[in-house]
Amino acid sequence: MPVLLFFYILIVLCLSIYSWNSLWLTYRCWRTRHEGAPTPPMQETPLVTVQLPVFNEFHVVERLLAAVAALDYPRDRLEIQVLDDSTDETTALVRTLVDRYRQQGLDITLLHRQERTGYKAGALAEGLRRAKGEFLAIFDADFVPPADWLRRTVPHLVARPELGLVQTRWTHLNATYSPLTMAQAIILDGQFGVEHRARNRSGYLMNFNGTGGIWRRAAIEAAGGWSAATLTEDLDLSYRAQLAGWRVLYLPEVTVPAELPPQMAAYCAQQFRWAKGSAQCLRRLAGPLWRSPYPLMVRWQGLLHISTYLCYPLMLLFLLLNLPVIWWQISLPHILGGFSIATLGPLALFITAQILTAAGQPQELPWWRRIAYLPVALLLGSGIMVSATRGVIEGLLGRPSPFQRTPKFRVESRQDSWRQRRYRAPLSPDLGGTAGLALYVLSLMALSWLRHSWWTLPFLALYEAGFLLVLGMSLWQHLQLRPRPSPRRPRGLRSAPQFATRK
């Protein structure tokens, strides 16, 4: 019994540390919310390479290229690389678009690899070898950068030679499409609206998010270049660059909209990849980070950051240990009641993020209406426990797995449907485990009722609702799928937009 109680308290303590840190970051965000980085004047216009990693993006690649071609930056100082690893008709479509834009005077090239060695990291590394620019902006296929994006980011790199990276804030093209996309928007706003602000303005380390950022070429090379050793090459490189002495700047006022996955199976696959990649980075970087010359608080915050996904296996262990605790009616110390206050951390973080980021986002609800979807976001966070836990375990054990990119469907409004489009993700392999956990928690709730352990019922009910949400939505969406259609052009492949005359 003492051993069981020790592990139970240890797990609660570990989970509380992450929750208390959410409160700390929320506090730091409020304290620094009025700080900013005005765009400095730029005397010279450096050469910039925009890299667009693409893999089977038939539905969205035309939208991406149209947005990048419309960037308000001198053409003679702009190079665009389409890093295409596609194995379907996307390559032919990209080649047609590239030829059209090249005829309009844009320096744009298609780099198509026959073998997807290194996945996205390999494509970016290949592009880096051929790039002409001093700075490299990166956009994934589901992003739509605004025309002034380079004008608002490049001057910071020019003015501050110690900067290796400028990251901008993600917004959402289709947040109001469904409760699932609204929940994802709330979760991402927590990261970009609070965590990134607090970390960057407090002098902590922060990560590149893989897209919507611009790198200094020298920083990439000094950090050792792109590596496919993890599934989150962005987190890996950004931490290696900061450990090498480079600084990162986050610009929350500069936004870039993106499409959220409307399919539950796609979201689960994405979270598995992020969880596994983060665990791989933890295994790879924890030692160098702790031995770095950064102050103790910076190193501590860095470790909490790259180990965030450890919360999922901890939550799973917490659930499993509740069975003997309830069965034997083990008396828990009253001090555990104080740890329950820490659960307010994520709530405070998400609400603060909505207040600070909701204004000005296209097709978005006011923040006070978005908060109504907060319960869905919290349930979604617990419902993906099995996928995320499997990712963490595989990452810590060093098990390799292919890079499964998140499918994009060009779903921007409620009138758009993804169910008849290609690239739909199959059912998550973790649904069986999720169903098993749902039955386990239901049994725990019945046992708690019989044992009069009323205090366990509220949080058990939350876990149960999260598992049922993921399980039910996954199966419901799968049953609604129709046979895959034959390939067709996305929205007509209209003529490329004309460039405005620039002085």
Asked whether the beta carbons of 6 and 317 are under 8 A apart, the reply is: no
- The residues near 482 (Cβ < 8 Å, ≥ 6 apart) are 419, 420
Tokens of 410: 């060009």
State phi, psi for 18 to the nearest 5 degrees. Answer: -65, -40
Q: Tell me the C-alpha distance between 17 and 196, whole Å.
A: 19
* Phi/psi-derived region of residue 500, left when phi > 0, alpha when psi is between -120 and 50, beta in every other case: beta
SS3 letters across 211-242: CCEEEEHHHHHHCCCCCCCCCCHHHHHHHHHH
Indicate which residue of 85, 140, 236, 430 is catalytic: 85
User: Cβ–Cβ contacts within 10 Å for residue 328, how many?
Assistant: 11
The question of whether 140 is a catalytic residue gets the answer no
Asked whether the beta carbons of 96 and 65 are under 8 A apart, the reply is: no
Tokens of 432: 């069986």
| Nearest alpha-carbon partner for 377 in 404, 342, 349, 339 | 349
- Give per-residue burial for 197-235: e unless 16+ CB within 10 Å, then b: bbbbbbebbbbbbbbbbbbbbebbeebeebbbbbbbbbb
Supply the DSSP symbol for 72: S
The residue type at 436: G
Q: Tell me the C-alpha distance between 378 and 356, whole Å.
A: 19
The question of whether 99 is a catalytic residue gets the answer no
Q: Is 246 helix (H, G, I), strand (E, B) or coil?
A: coil
Tokens of 311: 């919360």
Cα distances (angstroms) measured from residue 123 to each of 25, 120, 147, 344, 405: 35, 5, 25, 42, 14
Q: Helical H runs in 52-178?
A: 61-69, 90-103, 119-130, 149-159
Q: Tell me the C-alpha distance between 425 and 407, whole Å.
A: 7
The residues facing 79 across adjacent strands are: 49
Strands 213-216 and 163-172, by their bridges, are: antiparallel
Asked whether the beta carbons of 247 and 200 are under 8 A apart, the reply is: no
- The residues near 163 (Cβ < 8 Å, ≥ 6 apart) are 156, 157, 216, 246, 247, 248, 249
Radius of gyration of the chain (CA): 23
Indicate which residue of 140, 142, 189, 234 is catalytic: 234
Asked whether the beta carbons of 173 and 363 are under 8 A apart, the reply is: yes
Q: What residues are annotated to the active site? A: 85, 234
